[in-house]
Amino acid sequence: MEVVVERLQKHNIKPSMQRIAIMKYLMEHRTHPTVDEIYTALSPTIPTLSKTTVYNTLKILSEQGAAQTLTIDERNTCYDADTSTHAHFLCKSCGRVYDLACDDAVKKVVDTDMDGHEVQEIHYYYKGICKQCKED
């Protein structure tokens, strides 16, 4: 719990009971959950929790750099507590999102003319069939 509170504070997010629970869930469940998945998992133990609170908290976590918002799947927005440099792979068969190792150099925009724009995020998404689905 202390690690979760420290992470929120490090990203200038005031720790509330709901924010702590949502961040903790993201850190413990590396499955790239959606708002609905997080709400369904947490609402039995936090009866006052609403989907709006989950959505707004995830928005804050993402804006402050404590989590990532993933739009790899056109149908669902997913969230990831791992903010280190890595790519994501979406299986077109089962819909699962996997983390992929990614060299830091790949995600840097160095000496690239961005026409005066300031790049703040780069996302690498790969799509295909995961090894589990290929075996089935």
Q: 90 falls in which pLDDT band (50, 70, 90)?
A: very high
Judge whether 120 lies within some domain: yes
- Between helices 51-63 and 17-28, what is the axis angle to 10°? 70
The enclosing domain of 121 has a CATH number of 3.30.1490.190
Mean pLDDT on 70-87: 91
pTM for the whole structure: 0.86
**Residue range of the domain that includes 18:** 2-69
Domain end position, chosen among 13, 39, 69: 69
Instruction: Convert the pLDDT of each residue in 96-136 to its tens digit.
Output: 999 998 876 665 655 566 788 877 777 889 999 999 999 98
